[in-house]
Chains A and B, each alone.
Chain A
């Protein structure tokens, strides 16, 4: 870990001022940043420690029926908040399927949005990586890339965003509240992360010094509470990143889907909302045919970036599974193995 200046602000304004220096990084829980510093993939000149800020740590029920989550709210606290869980069960399921209990106890909402890719070539400082060292190339291309992106990637970068939490959030139309040197703004989560294109080093819309202060879920998002799920494929039963994942929310009236939400994880450099699929589901009868059609639309633009063509088929299948589970209804209690294929399947699989 490199040496750094350590700054301890007590207000958001102080934090933003302190982070104006180039090379600054905000330190929240540190579960991702400190790890990257230890392996040399991040070498900030200054750490602006957010652990002494007052505020940004509340889960607020808004008068319009939405919810505002402070950026410093811990993942576990959000997942175990009873009211929040009733409104947004798929978000809780996603949170509880991520990392370990120890990490969820400290990892923050803001940090989760901003976690960096798990691409081994990004982490390995001896490898070329345009995201870590702009212009150096991409050793993941032609390397070990079976888990890399199948959507929205570029020749310059094929990394994926690792968050579980962001997948249902983007499906539910979450909005990111930001404060910075130029003032405050709000950006839909869908537009918050950037696809790599020619500038993979730009991972989000944040400009230097800007700080995520909250994530807001709009009132209509709670309308999916009765029928929303998150499903995550892993290479072991727990404590692993997603190979692919999907969040689905449905509103069904009189045997027809009135509104659908669908997003995929592990497939792109951002949580991937499948709007064409959502549009196709609206008005359809819930069932295998509609879900398969939606899944195909969700992956319509997909292409392998390496030895990962299987992920395209897999992402379709997990989208179908998430929609199928959502149609069956949110369980009263989160399953013992959140988001796992080995959690109970209401009604069972037909095959």
Chain B
């Protein structure tokens, strides 16, 4: 198995070092937001609406206040004022918030009051005693809603409609055609750490312990909401207990801050698990219609990917599910269209691989169905339609080792010899066995970030950026990048992150955090070394004096001649002789727009899945998964593998397990808990392998990094759906694939809707 290790001399990047925050996390010392308990702190508990649309008529505030220990009830009547209406979206990346602005209810679980008490027990019961009464209005929570409209844009500024080539002509000319509809459900992030905040005011200064995937964005939005200076808000978010897109600023967290203002004491507010199924965003449901055609020998003639999705009645976010069809397969004609309905739910948002996860399971299923129609092996079919350039633009890819991913994954999995027909394989117990493949992809995003690096008198380094570690390994990989940028061992670098008083590291999202903040760190370190170099080269007493023409490089705390690494001088010596206490450098990271226009930038992968299905009972298990991914340069193979495993498990979940069950009569989520909203348990994923396929990308950014956090879901979900078909002959297009759907179809094998 080929692996990228990049074991350059003196390099920290590429090394599979263990997590630098590992000891803190395995000893319980890593402090998450809700672990803080400032003196004099009170507990706040939300009360959420039990209706999805209408208004709150009354609440028994007296009963709540009469409960021993209850200090205050915050409701629309006494909520402290804000400088900005909660629905004001003038700050970038803002979503409308529910901050007790009025008595209206616009989704089930919307906060309607906050009870603040001396103890958690009192606050919790106080919230129950409010026993709100409502005036309910009829609700709509399904994709069958009557009023359908076409959104102007989907995702973050993607066009709502896109046509390339002659789609109808391509479909008409196709020898093999597929038209099929796929449905994906509403899903909730369910990070293990509930959204939480510990807030303390000191005049206009605000101190917060709060998990966030975007420290600076959160700080900016809070400053606007409260009409205070951003610099007066200090947010600490050293560890997030998972985010997956849900931990940008949410209404409940702001309510905790408002509660602290109301009572004039520090307040802790932590969501109950059921409260995470409403006000903290979700993945919108989709109904996707794929129309695709191919020639007799399996060359795609056209793809039309149409998506119906859902948004809340009061805000905008449209799941960009069809976007994946623009990039993945080489069809001469490609169309993407979108439509949407407005529902009485919270506003959907970014959830791990937004758009791509939902779009991938539909596209990968459809591609498999068409391969089957062409009587071709599904891997061969994908290779037949391999996109050498981005199909809709003709642009080259900045790099694309997908062919190698297919080859290495297939070899490792043992794909060769897979029977073309379904229902051909059984295990020793007689369970049906099926194999499926899916292509994975995720765009290489870059945002904006800044970093500061310091070389200290003793030759050690300090690097700072307000990065976010939600499990992906920021504490570790940024330290590795920082160490390389300064020519130090990673142990010689102090790395600070997770606090809003550090340089803005942008957001931890879009799989772009390592590339963006990493580039900023690299640039900051390089600036330090450039200044250090200048000191050395211009000093006649330095052994490097005059080495400017051959160049010098930093190596393990020394500056050395490029042509002879034995000739050089330690950082500390250079600083000491120059009488300089320390050297500081600053750097920033952002997309190179010229490059981004010239090249299509995507990570790729191939996922191979084996499932077993009980032929009588319909229960399914994903017994073996092999993913091969190419995502540019790998900073830490150990941690990257973990990202791929995690993504692949999300793919299993997408295909087989998770969905929110909404009662269409009330709009309430009826499985708002981890007992009935199923995410995979350990026994669901008995065998996972991730292969890191070498890929050198000179264009994507200076570090050559693409991002690995989300790609694993894509490809995997479709591979499992395809494996289920291969095992059983049943094509389920409604996800997750449930037992009863298998059973219903088992009686009359064919296609399930």
Given A236-B678, A236-B684, is A342 in contact with B619 using a C-beta cutoff of 8 Å?
Answer: yes
Is B584 among interface residues, defined by CB-CB distance under 8 A?
A: no
Interface set, chain A 108-124, CB cutoff 8 A to B: 118, 120-121, 124
Q: Is the CB of B616 within 8 A of A120?
A: no
- Residues B676 and A310 in contact, CB atoms below 8 Å apart: no
Complex contact B430–A317 (CB within 8 A): no
Which of B350-358, B449-457, B735-743 forms contacts with chain A? B735-743
Q: Mark A8-43, 1 if CB is under 8 A from B, else 0.
A: 000000000000000000000000000000111000
A139-147, A151-159, A206-214, A273-281: which lies at the interface: A139-147
| A327 CB, min distance to chain B CBs, angstroms | 15
Q: Answer whether residue B128 sits at the interface, using C-beta atoms and an 8 A cutoff.
A: yes
List, in ascending order, chain B residues with CB within 8 A of A337's CB.
683
Q: How distant is B527 from chain A, measured CB to nearest CB, in Å?
A: 51
Task: Using A126-B50, A342-B431 as known contacts, say yes or no to A239 and B681 having CB atoms under 8 A apart.
Answer: yes
B663's partner among A143, A243, A318, A349 (CB-CB below 8 A) is: A143
> Does B612 count as interface, using CB distance less than 8 angstroms?
yes
Q: Which residues of A contact B740 (CB under 8 A)?
A: 146, 310-311, 314
Q: With A120-B671, A142-B665 in contact, is A238–B683 under 8 Å at CB?
A: yes
A63 at the interface (CB under 8 A from B): no
> Do B125 and A3 have beta carbons less than 8 Å apart?
yes
Residues of B within 8 Å of A320, CB to CB, are 616
Nearest B residue to A344 by beta-carbon distance?
B429
Q: In the bound complex, how far is the Cα of B310 from the Cα of A113, in angstroms?
A: 43
B581-616 contact mask (Cβ, 8 Å, vs A): 1 or 0: 000000000000000000000000000000010111
Q: Can you name the residue of chain B whose Cβ is closest to the Cβ of A342?
A: B621
1/0 contact string of B411-431 vs chain A (CB within 8 Å): 000000000000000101111
Contacts of B67 in A (CB 8 A): 3
Q: Quick one: which of A204-261 are within 8 Å of B by CB?
A: 233-241, 243
A residues 133-177 touching B (CB-CB < 8 Å): 139, 142-144, 146
In the complex, how many residue pairs between chain A and chain B have their CB atoms under 8 Å apart?
A: 112
Which residues of A are found within 8 Å of B743, using beta-carbon distances? 310, 313-314
Is B657 a contact of A349 with CB atoms below 8 Å?
no
Known contacts A1-B121, A3-B125, A341 near B614 by CB under 8 Å? yes
A240 to B677, CA, bound (A): 10
Judged by a CB distance under 8 angstroms, whether A348 is at the interface is: yes
Task: Pick the contact of A233: B617, B657, B678 (CB < 8 A).
Answer: B617
In B607-639, which residues have CB < 8 Å from any A CB?
612, 614-619, 621
Interface residues as binary, B731-751 with A (CB distance below 8 Å gives 1, 0 otherwise): 000000011100110010000
Given contacts A143-B670, A236-B684, contact A118 B676 (CB under 8 A): yes
Which single member of A146, A236, A311, A340 contacts B681 (CB below 8 Å)? A236
Least CB distance from A305 to B in Å reads: 14
Query: Is there a chain B Cβ closer than 8 Å to A2's Cβ?
Result: yes
Chain A proximity of B634: nearest CB distance (Å):
31
Determine whether B155 belongs to the interface, using a CB cutoff of 8 Å to chain A. no
Q: How far is the CB of B720 from chain A (nearest CB, A)?
A: 14
How long is the Cα–Cα vector from A351 to B617 in the complex, in angstroms?
A: 13
B680 touches A341 (CB 8 A): no
Separation of A344 and B430 alpha carbons in the complex (Å):
10
Cross-chain contact B430 with A349 (CB below 8 angstroms): yes
CB < 8 Å neighbour of A345 from B51, B430, B666:
B430
Bound complex: CA of A313 vs CA of B67, how far in Å?
51
Chain B residue total in the interface (Cβ 8 A): 44
B668 interface residue, CB < 8 Å from A? yes
Q: Which residues from chain B contact A126 at a C-beta distance below 8 Å?
A: 50-51, 666, 668
Closest to A308 in B: B740
Residues of B within 8 A of A234 (CB): 619
For the complex, give the distance between the alpha carbons of A234 and B684 in Å.
11
Asked if B661 and A144 make an inter-chain contact with CB atoms under 8 angstroms apart, the answer reads: yes
The answer to whether B617 touches A314 (Cβ under 8 A) is: yes
- Assuming the contacts A243-B739, A348-B429, asked whether A341 and B670 have C-beta atoms less than 8 A apart, the reply is no
Provide the residues of chain B in CB contact with A38, threshold 8 Å: 124
Q: Residue A270 at the B interface, CB < 8 A? A: no
Closest residue on chain B to residue A3 by CB atoms: B125
A311 to B612: give the CA distance in the assembly, Å.
21
**Cβ of A193 under 8 Å from chain B:** no
> What chain A residues lie within 8 Å of B125 (beta carbons)?
1-3
Residues of B within 8 A of A318 (CB): 617
**Whole-angstrom distance between the alpha carbons of A118 and B617 in the complex?**
22
Note all chain A residues with C-beta closer than 8 A to B429.
Answer: 344-345, 348-349
What is the CB-to-nearest-CB distance from A76 to chain B, in angstroms, rounded to a whole number? Answer: 18
How far does the alpha carbon of A350 sit from the alpha carbon of B125 in the complex, in Å? 56
Q: Given A235-B678, A238-B683, does the pair A348, B430 have CB atoms closer than 8 Å?
A: yes
- A320 and B670 alpha carbons, distance in the complex (Å): 32
Beta-carbon contact of A120 and B619 below 8 Å: no
When the two chains form their complex, are residues B124 and A1 in contact, meaning their CB atoms are under 8 A apart?
A: yes
A107–chain B nearest beta-carbon distance, Å: 14
- When each residue 311-351 of chain A gets 1 if its CB lies under 8 Å from chain B and 0 otherwise, what string results? 10110011011000000000000000100111011001111
CB–CB A349/B619 < 8 A: no
Complex Cα distance, B669 from A121, in Å, reads 11
Partner of A237, one of B121, B128, B426, B683: B683
Q: How far is the CB of A30 from chain B (nearest CB, A)?
A: 15
* Chain B residue at minimal CB-CB distance from A341: B614
Taken together as a complex, chains A and B put the C-alpha atoms of A313 and B742 apart, in Å, by: 12
Between A120, A236, A342, A348, the greatest number of chain B beta carbons within 10 A of the residue's beta carbon is seen for A236
Q: Contacts A235-B738, A313-B743, A349-B431 given; 9 further ones with Cβ under 8 A?
A: A126-B50, A126-B668, A235-B739, A241-B675, A310-B740, A317-B617, A349-B429, A349-B616, A350-B430
Q: List 9 A-B contacts (CB under 8 A).
A: A1-B125, A39-B274, A139-B665, A240-B678, A314-B739, A318-B617, A320-B616, A340-B619, A349-B426
Q: Which 8 A-B pairs have the closest CB atoms?
A: A349-B430, A126-B50, A348-B430, A310-B740, A237-B683, A345-B429, A341-B614, A120-B670
